[in-house]
Copies of this chain bind each other. A is one copy, B any other.
Amino acid sequence: MSAPLRIAVAGLGVVGAETVRLISTQGEMLARRCGRPVVVQAVSARDKTRDRGISLQGIEWFDDPVAMARNTDVDVVCELIGGSEGIARDVCGTALDSGKHVVTANKALIAMHGANLGQVADTAGLALAYEAAVAGGIPIVKALREGLAANQVNRLQGILNGTCNYILTAMRETGRDFGEILAEAQAHGYAEADPSFDIDGVDAAHKLAILTSLTFGCEIDFGTVHIEGIRHIDSIDIRFASELGYRIKLLGIAEMTDAGIQQRVHPAMVPLDAPIASVEGVFNGIVADGDFVGTTMFEGRGAGAGPTASAVVADIVDIARDRKTPTFGVPADELNVARVAAMADRDGLYYVRVMVRDKPGVFADIAGALRDSQISIESAIQRGRAEDGVVPVILTTHETKEARMQDALRLIGALDSVAETPRMIRIETV
């Protein structure tokens, strides 16, 4: 058996501590699968005295993770601190500069600086591994980079944020409102105290930008991801979605279109019988359509200590076995610069909810706005009477361009009889 693979772990939050625990409890099995022992030789965190439920005996302690990345004699540095700037970035950069492989769970860092760090890693023949950064325990990076390597994947869509999926699932199951469910999720630890990163779609967008690069062999381009979150989803929308045969999911979509690559994160209605509709609660799911393999789906827990540690250690096993792959599937200097398709070019179906003052002619006004934007109505529902006289009108459209839909929403929003900003949810049928 070969020499042990020596690991340094930077950051001992829930993921860091679980990674140390996993390597210890699965030691014998890992040694068989790696062909060599894996040992945690150094760790770094802020507070040495805190009880994390793991033994750090015999493991070198560093207060400064960057000093650890530079000075300690290990093969791999695991960066489990988080954040796209500052210490996390310094740890990864320093480790690579010192000839050490890097394994990270840091989606923000890879989305913002993966191109540069990947270039450094590829040039030095080192791993910059980030399976844990996307969809937690689901081995989707490996699937796209290796398992589906024979395919051009032309479209990928994923439920990439477990907090949002938990909220949307709970809203449907209980009929309750967004705010209530969010508060409950925070109480259960499924949502952060400041939830905006999750519920406004930024976290999903970080992951999507990484998947887009892997899928299309292009440089990561986080800046051009169209991002909308789930704050505006009302329990009315959830109810009407069910009635129309859909579920509402926060999707990340990367698609090759005639106009270029489109990257977008937004709530979407998906048909009830689509595989991704059955991905519920805190689970993540990714559907990739390859030109030879057809449709594939990968599902699992997208966050949490166990699933994330599972992905971190899978990357470590690859390094132990010397299984090498360029950071984004092809060498960094061969990555294309993506031609970006504008969001205005999206072709598809739309759901629109307009809250109207219930008086004669309002429906004709809305229909006129859609006609003037050259949009055909596929179905319309107006139901119920409210005490305040405000009732929802629900419309679905035939296929149209996003730009026309935005025009229509402006026209509808300006109508006298319309009481609130009209809400639109895109329908994704493929």
Contact A309 B292 (CB under 8 A): yes
Binds B, one of A87-95, A193-201, A321-329, A337-345: A321-329
Min C-beta distance of A25 to chain B, whole Å: 9
For chain A, residues 127 to 183, give those with C-beta under 8 angstroms from any C-beta of chain B.
Answer: 131, 137-139, 142-143, 146-152
Q: Kindly state whether residue A33 has any CB partner on chain B within 8 Å.
A: yes
CB-CB under 8 A from A325, the residues of chain B are 321, 323
Min C-beta distance of A149 to chain B, whole Å: 4
Binds B, one of A53-61, A297-305, A418-426: A297-305
Contact A307 B293 (CB under 8 A): yes
For chain A, residues 315 to 370, give those with C-beta under 8 angstroms from any C-beta of chain B.
Answer: 316-318, 321-326, 329-331, 334
Q: Interface size class for chain A?
A: 35 or more
Given contacts A32-B334, A321-B324, contact A294 B300 (CB under 8 A): yes
Q: Kindly state whether residue A259 has any CB partner on chain B within 8 Å.
A: no
Contact B310 A293 (CB under 8 A): yes
For chain A, residues 369 to 404, give those with C-beta under 8 angstroms from any C-beta of chain B.
Answer: none
Given contacts A299-B296, A325-B321, contact A309 B150 (CB under 8 A): yes
- Specify the chain B residue showing the minimal Cβ separation from A335: B32
Contact A306 B330 (CB under 8 A): no
Contact A313 B150 (CB under 8 A): yes
Contact with B along A71-109 (1 / 0, CB 8 A): 000000000000000000000000000000000000000
CB-CB under 8 A from A296, the residues of chain B are 137-138, 298-301
Contact B306 A293 (CB under 8 A): yes
- Specify the chain B residue showing the minimal Cβ separation from A326: B35
Contact A300 B293 (CB under 8 A): yes
Q: Give the one of A32, A275, A300, A309 with max B CB within 10 A.
A: A300
| Alpha-carbon distance between A317 and B30 when the two chains are bound, in angstroms | 25
Contact with B along A21-57 (1 / 0, CB 8 A): 0100010011011010000000000000000000000
Min C-beta distance of A363 to chain B, whole Å: 37
- Which of A's residues lie within 8 Å of B, judged by CB? 18, 22, 26, 29-30, 32-33, 35, 131, 137-139, 142-143, 146-152, 217, 273, 275, 278-279, 290-301, 304, 306-307, 309-314, 316-318, 321-326, 329-331, 334
12 CB-based A-B contacts, threshold 8 Å: A22-B150, A35-B326, A137-B293, A146-B323, A147-B314, A149-B313, A149-B317, A275-B278, A275-B299, A278-B278, A294-B301, A297-B299
